[in-house]
């Protein structure tokens, strides 16, 4: 008779191999959970998932455990995605691969029928992925769009300038902290969990999940409206105090309480699950995993995949570290207009670990003011041009108003953004990304292309090139003024 240890040992070996293979993804995710209040709830997701599986243990043990070898295909996909994310330092890809592979591994060993019994806990594990910060700008816009009509409806005179709200008593910025992203993400996680434990029908579950998406967005807009309204009524005396009171744990508790009340109104007696019968000793003692169905081939295949991925990633990383090259630069001495290199003061882009940085200004015709320029180039595989740490402008000093694509004579597209400072100064920034001889305006496309090339051992020099002017002129006049200079700069780029 085979000892229990012999049966369980391969499972622990595979689990340890999973931790080793996805260690960087696990470590970076845990670090993000700890430092960001948006994702603090992720610490509870995996424990809750396994607790929900434990609650289903009786039904689970009654199902036959038949290894589903087809799951090796998506597991290979998660390993490839993880490698891609590691090479390009795309942490979202790393986290998606890490926490989607865990339920896939469980599904692989227990089979389709048993996995169906614990389908929700397996899917719930995906909420461990720290995802959602990308929606902050959109939520800022939505919050502002909803708050302004409420202010106008209650007779508060308000002027909107991007994300700034001006009332006679002062100015407010709907900043990232005001987007309500932490409320929204946690509410969605809570909504899914509550719907699972409270309702039996799919329709009610989906409806409550939709409610958990809508309520925090509306509540956050009301919160911003309340802050501005209190400032208006008290001549700014209690605006800061109201912000601290309405924003934070108290407000979030109110949102959760409101969701629970809505859930209780939707529930009826048919939705209350019957009390579970105690698990009999006979059912505990039986397991559908017979000795003739030991998943030896699955264990072996997984270990081969994990080892192969580790060797592949190590090889690519070692090749990348040996690369060297010259940074993409602009020869300002060869330009047909005067350019002076010096530290920028009013407009301060920040691109860390750049191989070379050029910045300064050149004069325009007709005394229209100086045009600032900034070039940050990366070579030899060192540093990351596309990184969450890099900023084209400081979000604390500027807010985005408009973002449009501009076509040049050569057929290349570049990006134009218009930003405004708290004092009402407008600035235009015309920029593009240069990868050897190719021009990109999409950070996503450039990052994916760079990473794909690096996976095959090719690293190309890259740079961001931007020109900017502070002006009250129309966007059309600014574009016409800068277009010719941009064409000249593009022709002057050399590697």
Same domain, 351 and 481: yes
In a domain, 32, yes or no: yes
> Same domain, yes or no, for 93 and 234?
no
Percentage of the chain with pLDDT > 90? 29
Please indicate, yes or no, whether residues 403 and 302 belong to a single structural domain of this protein.
no
287 lies in some domain: no
Backbone angles phi, psi at 297, to 5 degrees: -65, -35
Q: Tell which wins on pLDDT, 422 or 328.
A: 422
Which tens digits make up the pLDDT trace of 263-310?
888 877 555 554 344 444 444 444 444 444 557 788 888 888 988 888
Position 283 in a domain: no
pLDDT per position as a tens digit, 71-105: 999 999 999 999 999 988 889 999 999 999 999 99
pLDDT band at 29 (very low <50, low <70, confident <90, very high): very high
155 and 260 inside one domain:
yes
pLDDT at 211: 94
Residue 246, pLDDT above cutoff 70: no
pTM of structure:
0.80
Q: How many domains does the chain have?
A: 3
Please indicate, yes or no, if residue 285 is contained in any of the structural domains: no
- Listed range (32-46, 108-122, 431-445) with the worst mean pLDDT: 431-445
Tell me what pLDDT residue 49 has: 95
Here the contacts of 120-123 (C-beta below 8 Å, separation 24 or greater) are: 120/52, 120/196, 121/49, 121/50, 121/52, 121/53, 121/56, 122/49
Is position 115 within any domain?
yes
Residues 143 and 255 in one domain: yes
Q: Which H/E stretch holds residue 402? A: strand 399-407
> Which residue in 404, 420, 417, 431 sits closest to 490, CA to CA?
431
Res 15: pLDDT: 82
pLDDT tens readout for residues 173-232: 887 778 888 889 999 999 999 999 999 888 999 999 999 999 999 988 988 888 888 888
Secondary structure (3-state) at 174? coil
Q: How far, CA to CA in Å, does 55 sit from each of 66, 192, 345, 440, 468?
A: 21, 17, 61, 51, 60
Q: Six-digit token pair at 119?
A: 């389908």
Q: Mark whether 144 and 208 lie in a shared domain.
A: yes
Q: Which of 216, 204, 47 has its CA nearest to residue 128? A: 47
Residue 119: inside a domain: yes
User: What would the pLDDT profile of 373-430 be if each residue is shown by its tens digit?
Assistant: 898 988 866 678 888 788 999 877 888 888 888 887 666 788 999 988 878 888 999 9
Range of the domain at 484: 329-494
> Does residue 325 or residue 191 have the better pLDDT?
191
Which ranges of 416-474 would DSSP assign to H, the alpha helix? 443-455
- Which residue, among 234, 208, 88, has the nearest Cα to 156 in the 3D structure? 234
My answer on whether 371 and 463 are in the same domain is yes
Is the predicted pLDDT of residue 367 greater than 60, yes or no? no
9 and 92 fall within a common domain: yes
- Which residues have CB under 8 Å from 226's CB, separation 6+? 242, 246
Lowest mean pLDDT among 44-53, 220-229, 236-245, 468-477: 236-245
**Residue 364 scores a pLDDT above 80:** no
pLDDT of residue 398: 85
pLDDT exceeds cutoff 80 at 490:
no
CA neighbours closer than 13 Å in the CB half-sphere of residue 341: 11
Tokens of 187: 């509410």
Mean pLDDT of 336-365: 82
Based on the domain organization, do 199 and 125 belong to the same domain?
Answer: no
Mean pLDDT of the chain: 82
Region of poorest pLDDT, from 112-121, 331-340, 452-461, 473-482: 331-340
Q: Which residues contact 157 (CB under 8 A, 6 or more apart)?
A: 167, 168
Flag whether 284 is in a domain. no
Same domain, yes or no, for 75 and 184?
no
Which pLDDT score is estimated for 292? 40
**Residue 313 sits in the same domain as residue 372:** no
Q: Percent of the chain scored above 70 by pLDDT? A: 83
3-state secondary structure of 122: helix
Report yes or no on 386 lying in a domain: yes
* 242 shares a domain with 116: no
């Amino acid at each position: 008779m085979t000892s229990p240890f012999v049966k369980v040992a391969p499972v622990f070996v595979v689990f340890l191999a999973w931790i080793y293979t996805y260690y960087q993804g696990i470590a970076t995710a845990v670090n993000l959970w700890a430092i960001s209040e948006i994702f603090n709830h992720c610490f509870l997701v995996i424990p809750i998932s396994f607790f929900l599986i434990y609650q289903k243990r009786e039904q689970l043990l009654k199902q036959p455990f038949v290894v589903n070898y087809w799951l090796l295909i998506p597991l290979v996909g998660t390993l490839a995605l993880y490698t891609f994310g590691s090479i390009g330092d795309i942490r979202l890809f790393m986290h998606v691969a890490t926490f989607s592979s865990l339920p896939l591994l469980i599904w692989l060993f227990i089979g389709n029928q048993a996995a169906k019994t614990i389908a929700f806990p397996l899917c719930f594990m995906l909420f461990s992925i720290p995802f959602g910060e990308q929606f902050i700008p959109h939520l800022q816009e939505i919050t502002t769009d909803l708050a302004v009509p409420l202010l106008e409806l209650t007779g508060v005179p308000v002027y909107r300038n991007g994300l700034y709200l001006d009332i006679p008593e002062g100015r407010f910025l709907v900043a990232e902290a005001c987007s309500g992203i932490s409320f929204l993400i946690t509410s969605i996680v809570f909504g899914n969990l509550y719907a699972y434990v409270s309702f039996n029908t799919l329709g009610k579950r989906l409806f409550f999940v939709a409610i958990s998406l809508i309520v925090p967005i509306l509540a956050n807009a009301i919160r911003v409206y309340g802050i501005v309204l209190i400032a208006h009524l008290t001549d700014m005396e209690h605006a800061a105090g109201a912000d601290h009171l309405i924003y934070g744990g108290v407000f979030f508790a109110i949102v959760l309480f409101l969701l629970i009340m809505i859930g209780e109104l939707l529930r009826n007696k048919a939705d209350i699950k019957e009390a579970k019968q105690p698990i009999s000793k006979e059912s505990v003692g039986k397991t559908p995993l017979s000795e003739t169905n030991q998943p030896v081939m699955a264990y072996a295949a997984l270990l081969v995949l994990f080892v192969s991925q580790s060797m592949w990633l190590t090889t690519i990383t070692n090749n990348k570290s040996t690369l060297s090259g010259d940074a993409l630069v602009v020869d300002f001495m060869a330009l047909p207009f005067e350019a002076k290199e010096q530290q920028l003061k009013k407009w301060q882009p920040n691109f860390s670990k750049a191989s070379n940085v050029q910045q300064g200004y050149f004069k325009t015709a007709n005394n229209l003011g100086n045009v600032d320029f900034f070039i940050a180039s990366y070579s030899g595989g060192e540093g990351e041009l596309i990184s969450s740490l890099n900023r084209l402008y400081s979000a604390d000093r500027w807010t985005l108003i408009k973002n449009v694509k501009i076509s040049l004579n050569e057929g290349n597209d570049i990006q134009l953004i218009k930003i405004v400072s708290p004092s009402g100064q407008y600035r235009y920034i015309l920029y593009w990304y240069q990868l050897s001889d190719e021009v990109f305006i999409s950070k996503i496309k450039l990052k994916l292309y760079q990473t794909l090339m690096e996976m095959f051992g090719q690293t190309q020099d890259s740079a961001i090139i931007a020109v900017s002017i502070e002006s009250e002129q129309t966007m059309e006049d600014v574009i016409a003024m800068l277009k010719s200079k941009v064409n000249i700069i593009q022709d002057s780029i050399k590697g």
